[in-house]
Chains A and B, each alone.
Chain A
Amino acid sequence: MAKSIPSARPNIPSARPNQLFRNLNSKIASIPMIFVALVIFLGGSVWTVVYSFTNSRLLPRLSFVGLDQYERLWASSRWIISIQNLAIYGVLSLIFSMVIGFVLAALMDQKIRFENVFRTIFLYPFALSFIVTGLVWQWLLNPEYGVQHIVRGFGWEGFVFNPLYDADLVIYGILIAGLWQGTGLVMCLMLAGLRGIDEDIWKAARVDGIPMWRTYLFIVIPMMRPVFITTLVIIGSGIVKLYDLVVAQTSGGPGNASEVPAKYVYDYMFQAQNLGQGFAASTMMLLTVAIIIVPWAYLEFGGRKRV
């Protein structure tokens, strides 16, 4: 694409200057971004990884203790519970928000009346912060004020629904709140993707007598691949950094049944005043993300050149 630009601007001299100074304006403009990426993102990550091998407590200090922090981390039952919770939450929230989001978008795409109204209603939860979402659902799921109380009020006295106070179910209670908040956005992304599909494809499919669900499944969805990838990245990053929702809804309880890795990092860095342990945990989070992202990025971007 870049090669076509000079032809659009005939005044540029044909003798090419040094490669380094080509397109100088845009290079200068991107210096702050490059600086931020290198110093803050890369530099910060490297700093964290280095200090995760030290025994820093409240303040960082460079006295190395090898893998001690990691040994302690993986021996801690709270960390194991955190990882399990994140896995359950991650897989389910990925599947459900994709499926629900797509189905809602497909329903919206049927040229229904009041589409704007519905779109606004479904997207509204996304305008709330996780803290507010968490508090609202803490009340809704509280057995004394919320759903259980209302159903019992209808006369079903034995009805029990208190996921937030049951150690085995609590992570699903958090999942419900997460889905409520996030599916609206997924729906909008999917709807935008559906609107981007050429009307002629639908007409052609109809002429060929292909049922609507097959058209969606085998023609439309494969064509929406870029939208799905964008959605995946957005949901995925939301999953890894899951923190505020848990804090607002259960603060990790009952006991530590709903702990998540990000909360472990925060608690050990600031409450336990043990930076080394917090850094070790955050390095493990970074590693997990890298293990998922790197092969995917390789397939996604490395593969395109061969096509």
Chain B
Amino acid sequence: MNIRAVAAILAATVAMPYAAAQATDLEVTHWWTSGGEAAAVKELAKAFNATGNKWVDGAIAGSGSTARPIMISRITGGDPMGATQFNHGRQAEELVQSGLMRDLTAVAEKGKWKDVIKPASLLASCTYEGKIYCAPINIHSWQWLWLSNAAFQKAGVPVPKDWNEFVAAGPKLREAGIQPLALGGQAFQANNLFDVLLISIGGKELFEKVYKDKDEEAAAGPEMAKIFAAAVQARELAKGNNVQDWNQATNLVITGKAGGQIMGDWAQGEFQQAGQTAGKDYSCLPGLGLNEVLTTGGDAIYFPLIKDEAKSKAQEALAETIVDPKVQVAFNLKKGSVPIRSDIDMSAANDCMKKGIEIIAKGGTATSVDQMLSADSMKQKEDLMSEFFAKASITPEQAQERFAEIIASAD
């Protein structure tokens, strides 16, 4: 028996188990752990298992800022998972640049992603040097004010139609012993609250001038000063908050202990889990009722480069599953997010979701801040905002000065 034959037999014994057992385990890491999110993940896992592979759940509790360092260090440390969640934008930028991520261009062309994925900015942030590196899974927007109808009833004021009415109702809510604005202690919440005020009160133009063009003068200018004045109002309304996590803050609204919360559309999943109906138990104001523009952030699934042939196949299957119309409907209904394709039937969605889908279809979209600023600049901004919202002694002028400095050095 010559060596080649021996090698062939050995190779066959190694290859056999793979060929025989078609189900390939693929570990998917994500931070979808709240009630509504977990339900959505189950839908995705079910659809992926139906392709003959096996979804191994790698949920990481805590917010994205807890999970991302773990994911990144696993990829850079040579222990990559099968697939992982990141937000749309630049979080995985350097991983892609250093060749640690898998090129999905072939899958994307086969599935005609360029034609079906709307808005185009989603695929654009997956693209690096003409190649596609991630599969967008949903669209999330931040610009939502969630209101507890019961809380306003108790305070004896009508449910506000926009942010200005909400601010005006603040003192009445306090008198009735209700926390006007629920805001958790996690730093990203204050940071994003500010960005919502910026785009909803200041408009899309100012928003893009500051974050896209990094215009220092606009950031230090009088238009921005108005936003900081509004932020001071929000700080007053949020005074007295004793919760940390965003879903605890949402829970205050659900139970009527707080009047409202500015939070992304994922908060809707929590209302659904609590068995509440949009319009009856709670109300939603996209764009704070002032300016109907939604940022199209959200989540995308990235696939680290793995040498294993079978795993690569499973990665392709997962990428196809994610963009599949049926999966898009099932996943996004549970998650409370907007699907990445507009050619599917979302009539089962509730009132608030329909409002969001409509605004996006009308073209009321803007690029999310995550897609425009690097993680470093985001963190600096986050530090400033969490300090500003917690410490009443910082004047809006001081905060604006520091904000302009961050924008000046941002990349």
A binding-site residues for B, Cβ under 8 Å: 57-59, 76-78, 142-144, 162, 165, 167, 250-257, 266-274, 277
Contact = CB atoms under 8 A, between A and B. Distances in A.
B94 A273 contact: yes
B186 A142 contact: no
B359 to A, nearest CB: 31
Given A253-B185, A273-B94, A167 B390 contact: yes
A78 B387 contact: yes
Nearest to A256: B387
B94 A57 contact: yes
Contacts, number: 85
B242 A143 contact: yes
B390 A58 contact: no
The interface residues of chain A, by DSSP majority, are classed as loop
Interface stretch (B135-143, B225-233, B373-381): B373-381
A252 B186 CA distance: 9
A162 B242 contact: yes
B277 interface: no
A261 to B, nearest CB: 14
Interface in B175-209: 185-187, 190
Contacts of B383: 76-78, 256
B61 interface: no
Given A162-B242, A256-B386, A270-B72, A251 B376 contact: no
B376 A57 contact: yes
Ranked nearest first, the 10 interchain pairs of A and B with the lowest CB-CB distance are A255-B390, A270-B69, A272-B379, A254-B390, A58-B94, A255-B387, A273-B375, A274-B376, A253-B185, A272-B376
A74 to B, nearest CB: 14
B65 interface: yes
B375 A254 contact: no
A256 B375 CA distance: 18
B154 to A, nearest CB: 19
Contacts of A76: 380, 383
Interface residues of B, number: 31
Contact of B386 (A143, A253, A273): A253
Interface of B: 65, 68-69, 72-73, 76, 91, 93-95, 98, 185-187, 190, 242, 244, 374-376, 378-380, 383, 386-391, 402
A144 B251 CA distance: 15
A188 B388 CA distance: 44
Contacts of A271: 65, 68-69, 375, 379
29 contacts: A58-B93, A76-B380, A76-B383, A77-B383, A77-B387, A77-B402, A78-B383, A162-B242, A165-B242, A167-B391, A250-B185, A252-B386, A253-B185, A254-B391, A255-B386, A255-B387, A255-B390, A256-B383, A256-B386, A257-B387, A266-B69, A268-B379, A270-B68, A270-B69, A271-B65, A271-B69, A271-B379, A272-B375, A277-B376
Contact of B378 (A57, A144, A256, A272): A272
B251 to A, nearest CB: 13
A272 B406 CA distance: 14
B380 A272 contact: yes
Nearest to A81: B387
Contact of A257 (B98, B242, B390): B390
A57 B76 CA distance: 13
A151 B311 CA distance: 59
A266 B66 CA distance: 11
B409 to A, nearest CB: 8
Contacts of A251: 185-187, 244
Nearest to A252: B187
Contacts of B69: 266, 269-271
A82 to B, nearest CB: 11
A93 to B, nearest CB: 24
B109 to A, nearest CB: 29
Given A59-B76, A255-B390, A256-B386, A142 B376 contact: no
Contacts of B242: 142-144, 162, 165
Contacts of A270: 68-69, 72-73
Nearest to B379: A272
Contact of A255 (B76, B91, B389): B389
Contact of B72 (A58, A142, A252, A267): A58
Contacts of A78: 383, 387
Most chain A CB within 10 A, of B73, B379, B389, is at B379
A254 B98 contact: no
Contact of B379 (A142, A144, A252, A267): A267
B376 A273 contact: yes
Contacts of A254: 185, 390-391
Contacts of B186: 251
A253 B383 CA distance: 10
Contacts of B68: 270-271
Nearest to B69: A270
Nearest to A165: B242
